[in-house]
Structure 1
Amino acid sequence: MERNEILEKVKAAICETLGNDDLTITEETTLKDLGADSFDQLEIMVALEEAFDISLENAAGGDMASVETVGQTVDIVAAEL
């Protein structure tokens, strides 16, 4: 899967989880910019696991809360595919 495809699916999962239809999300957008707190980040992780049929339990050194940007999220998903 190409990076652009991953990015689009990550954006869709984030928007659905946060109830946000912000089409201006870029790889530099931070999850905080989108209003995500630590609970939201956990929900996003679960949504990504379902969307990509992967496990992110050990991704980012086991600390998904350290992920700050959409681009970092794409990197983590890509590494697990």
Structure 2
Amino acid sequence: MSISDRVIAIIAEQAVLEPTDVTRESTLEDLGIDSLGLVESIFAIEEEFDISIPFNANEPTASDFDISTVGAIIDGIERLVSEQQG
């Protein structure tokens, strides 16, 4: 399973949706994920990939980690995983 598929599965589970309902263009708001759901998703993703996401739960928009869309989240995680393996 690719990083993209794994991230989508985690986000879909958090949103109580099917993975097929989540696209790279989806925003967390589109999916009905609130700030608590976002934090839970981030924790689940960190655990899944054994990475640390530079994320400020109190000010998500002030983070270096782009959470604007599912695709941006996937790109950020792929970059973190790549750096970790580097």
TM range (shorter): 0.7 to 0.9
Alignment RMSD: 1.8
Larger Rg: 2
State how 1:49-68 maps to structure 2 within 5 Å. 49-56=46-53, 58=54, 62-63=55-56, 65-66=60-61, 67-68=67-68
Q: How much does 1:63 deviate?
A: 3.8
Divergent runs of 4+, >3 A? none
Number of the residue aligned with 2:72: 72
Gaps of 5+ in 1: none
1:38 aligns with 2:39: no
Number of the residue aligned with 1:10: 7
Gaps of 5+ in 2: 62-66, 82-86
Q: Which has the higher contact order (CA 8 A, sep 6+)?
A: 1
TM-score (norm 1): 0.79
TM-score (norm 2): 0.75
